[in-house]
Structure 1
Amino acid sequence: MPAADTKASTPVGADPVPSVDSRMTPGGPGYRRMSLALFLAGVATFALLYSTQALLPLVSRDFGATASAASWTVSGATGALALFVLPMSALSERFGRRTLMTASLAVAVTVGLLVPFAPTLGTLIALRAVQGAALAGLPASATAYLAEEVSPRALITAIGLFVAGNSVGGMSGRIITGWVAQEWGWRVAVGTVGVIAVGCAVAFRLLLPTPRHFEPGSLRPRVLARSVRDHLSDPLLRRLYAIGALFMMVFGGVYTVIGYRLTEAPFSLPQGIIGSIFLVYLVGTVSASTAGRLVGRLGRRGALYLAGGTTTAGLLLSLVPVLPLVLLGLVLITAGFFAGHAVASSAVSHTAKRGRAQAAALYQSSYYIGSSAGSTLGAVAFHASGWAGTVGMGLLAVAGVVTITVLGSRAARAERCLATA
């Protein structure tokens, strides 16, 4: 019998056998391992990326630098990530998501162990930029991995868990560095984060299931340029990229400057207590992981309106010079940001049908450009006008989110009218 005849075929007149979706679903094989692996990758990414943010007053004091100069230890890392995330996504298309994420984490944690020995502020900023460039291989590759390996119905929840890992990493990194720095200085603090990230990286590599649906793409610049052009020509994707950048401007500005505000009168808090303030990141863990249910109830635009309104309320509340109200304001800002980020990033993965890694990379690039800009502009505004200046910058960014969402709603209604005409 010829080899071709050995293939299973559908008998004439019989109903076709439906194809079985082998992608992971909650409760299914590999889903828990995958969720934990990417959760730990998210922890390591944010812990490393923002390891100096809670320590900026100490960095300023050690090097005799201003707040805006020290803020470049954060902006340099996030800016480099934004610059390298697209090239890294192209490498992931060729060599695989898991391979690139593993290599990126390996380089980032190695640099993390060198950061404590930086002799000058310039060297520290340079090392942090290298670290940010290495971490660029994580975000876009992770969301592309999820889009390929997880059932569409579970995608928002899975991405929400990855984002929740980001929030836990950001929180734990800042709390640990705050208390360690209070006793032994900022250098020991960032070194401690580096050691923790090593553990996360090893566990990630051991836990993440082998991809089953990855198909290698091309590294040719022309193919990459065409994919980028196609994504940027999509009005919905452009709006989502802008929303991610604007949300992150608020978040980056607030958390870069909050340490300076809380060390000054009328609060005058010690470094350990300031680090513990970042426990509010737990709120972000919850809001990110429940983003799927929020979209199910309110729709994507409704969820974005709610996230923007929550962030605005938090910014306004933080203006009151009473510590409990400032903390409540940070809770609202954090909840609004992580919900908005989870909704926007999952919408990008759902919208892009081809070149998902590039689509996710463009979102991440916009997102971290927003972080870098927010960190720098927030510090400049604080230097010029105090906390009110940083809040003013944040309110303008949220106004941009709301405006873009309104324009998106109008565009969607216009498309529906054309479709029914």
Structure 2
Amino acid sequence: MTQGEPGQGVAADGRIAVGTPAFRRTSLAMAGAGLTTFALLYHVQPLLPLLADTFKVGAAESALSLSLSTGALSICLLLAGSLSEVVGRKPVMVGSLLLSSLLTIAVALTPSWPALLLARMLTGVALAGLPAIAMAYLGEEMQPKALGLAMGLYIAASALGGMVGRLVTGIAADHLDWHWIVAGIGTLGLISGATLWHLLPPSRQFRRQSPDPRILIGSLLAQFRDPGLCILFALAFLLMGSFVAIYNFIGFHLLQPPYNLSQSAIGLIFSAYLLGMGGSAWIGALALRVGRHRVLPVGISLMAVGMGLTALTPLPAIIAGIALMTFSFFAAHSVASSWVSARATTGKAQASSLYLFFYYMGSSFVGSGAGLAWERAGWAGVVVLVGGLLALALLLALSMRRHA
């Protein structure tokens, strides 16, 4: 082993080895960035009832504060990777985190609903630079033996960030004005961006390119020639849309009689993400043993069971349903996303980007559409909508048997 930068151990080929100072610095920086990215994206979810009350808008309109962000993120994911090929990995990731943090602080200061929606949409644009590039950076800079651990830490931190952003925000909303909460999330993002710049080693394996748009577009469109990939892209849309619909409007449901829960109590529901984080790793290993085509339909079926439990009146049944749906969603998402990488024979990064594109599009369109179901039929309307989406998802998952 040779030494690269002072205090950073790298292997003879210039890649970062596990157990070295460079590995610890990189893992810490990337985990912090992943956590902050998804906290910046999802912290508004438990605030939707408060935003609706503050700006005098309906439930469906309040959900746009999340849907516009995830929609912009999904589109820009396809562009951010190409940008990093030209200007480098680290500058784009750091710039992404700092700009999205500043825009989050702007959300806290905005006086009008249209301005808030614009700031949230631009936040989604800015945030696309990190998830699109983080995996590419780790894949280039880490030794093969170190990559699995580093990637696992990044993904776990990203899921934790989504949970913490929702959980802390939901609890804090009972004690602080939401403007201060959002400003605090943005400030933490600025600190994380500065930490990423300081800790993350510069790219050693990156080679600057001048990509030909025609080649990139041709390679991207070629992914749709595989029917199995097309089904997985559709599943990303349906599963994420169903999941976000439930979490977007469960707060509205539980704030009403007969539950009358506080924002803190509703925020605690997001701790169910811990089940999902643990379940995704276990289900992923199980899928490799018994087959993805067998595990994926089971995960979707359990999502439907969990959703059905939320239609019952007793609060324990609703909480159990949310927990089961969360565990099952992460399990199904883990299997489907890994299947994309396994199926794609060329352009694996583009195939993964397309999966994430449909994933966040599902969050945007279904997350907002469920608001109309809520306003017209209450929680029963949301349950019927999600039930239909999951039934379609189950049929698609069963059809993957012929593509196994």
Q: Structure 1-normalised TM-score?
A: 0.85
| Superimposed CA distance per residue, residues 113-172 of structure 1 (whole angstroms, 9 cap, x where no aligned partner) | 111011111111100000001111122222333444556788676555433223211211
Correspondent of 2:290 among 282, 292, 298:
298
The answer (yes or no) to whether the contact 1:43–1:165 under 8 Å persists in 2 is yes
| Superimposed CA distance per residue, residues 326-360 of structure 1 (whole angstroms, 9 cap, x where no aligned partner) | 11111111111222223323333344454444322
Matched position secondary structure for 2:211: coil
Root mean square deviation, CA, Å = 2.5
Give matches, 1:274-293, under 5 Å: 274-293=266-285
Per the TM alignment, residue 306 of structure 1 is displaced from its structure 2 partner at its CA by 3.1
| Superimposed CA distance per residue, residues 357-400 of structure 1 (whole angstroms, 9 cap, x where no aligned partner) | 43222121111101001211221111122112212222222223
Segment drifting more, 331-340 vs 230-239: 230-239
Matched, 1:122 2:114: yes
Aligned-residue sequence identity (percent) comes to 38
Correspondent of 2:306 among 303, 314, 326:
314
**Correspondence for 2:372:** 380
Structure number with larger C-alpha Rg:
1
**Correspondence for 2:46:** 54
Give matches, 1:82-101, under 5 Å: 82-101=74-93
Matched position secondary structure for 1:183: coil
Distance in 1, matches of 2:338 and 2:98, equals 26
- Gap runs ≥5 in structure 1: 1-19, 413-421
**Correspondence for 1:10:** none
Q: Decide whether aligned partners of structure 1 residues 66 and 127 sit closer, same or farther in structure 2, where only a CA change above 3 A counts.
A: same
Distance in 2, matches of 1:257 and 1:143, equals 32
The answer (yes or no) to whether the contact 2:284–2:331 under 8 Å persists in 1 is no
Per the TM alignment, residue 25 of structure 1 is displaced from its structure 2 partner at its CA by 7.3
Correspondent of 1:343 among 332, 335, 345:
335
The answer (yes or no) to whether the contact 2:98–2:189 under 8 Å persists in 1 is no
**Correspondence for 2:322:** 330
**Correspondence for 1:178:** 170
Matched position secondary structure for 1:218: coil
Give matches, 1:255-266, under 5 Å: 255-266=247-258
Which letter does structure 1 place at the counterpart of 2:44? T
Q: Structure 2-normalised TM-score?
A: 0.88
| Superimposed CA distance per residue, residues 199-219 of structure 1 (whole angstroms, 9 cap, x where no aligned partner) | 333333344444444444433
| Superimposed CA distance per residue, residues 293-328 of structure 1 (whole angstroms, 9 cap, x where no aligned partner) | 233333322332232122112111111111121111
Distance in 1, matches of 2:173 and 2:22, equals 39
Segment drifting more, 337-346 vs 366-375: 337-346
Q: Decide whether aligned partners of structure 1 residues 145 and 301 sit closer, same or farther in structure 2, where only a CA change above 3 A counts.
A: farther
Distance in 1, matches of 2:224 and 2:209, equals 19
Total equivalences in the alignment: 393
Per the TM alignment, residue 47 of structure 1 is displaced from its structure 2 partner at its CA by 0.8
**Correspondence for 2:360:** 368
The answer (yes or no) to whether the contact 1:291–1:339 under 8 Å persists in 2 is yes
The answer (yes or no) to whether the contact 1:71–1:376 under 8 Å persists in 2 is yes
**Correspondence for 2:58:** 66
Which letter does structure 2 place at the counterpart of 1:127? A
Correspondent of 2:220 among 228, 238, 252:
228
Q: Decide whether aligned partners of structure 1 residues 205 and 287 sit closer, same or farther in structure 2, where only a CA change above 3 A counts.
A: farther
**Correspondence for 1:5:** none
**Correspondence for 1:131:** 123
**Correspondence for 1:13:** none
Q: Decide whether aligned partners of structure 1 residues 305 and 380 sit closer, same or farther in structure 2, where only a CA change above 3 A counts.
A: same
Matched position secondary structure for 1:242: helix
The answer (yes or no) to whether the contact 2:241–2:365 under 8 Å persists in 1 is yes
**Correspondence for 2:135:** 143
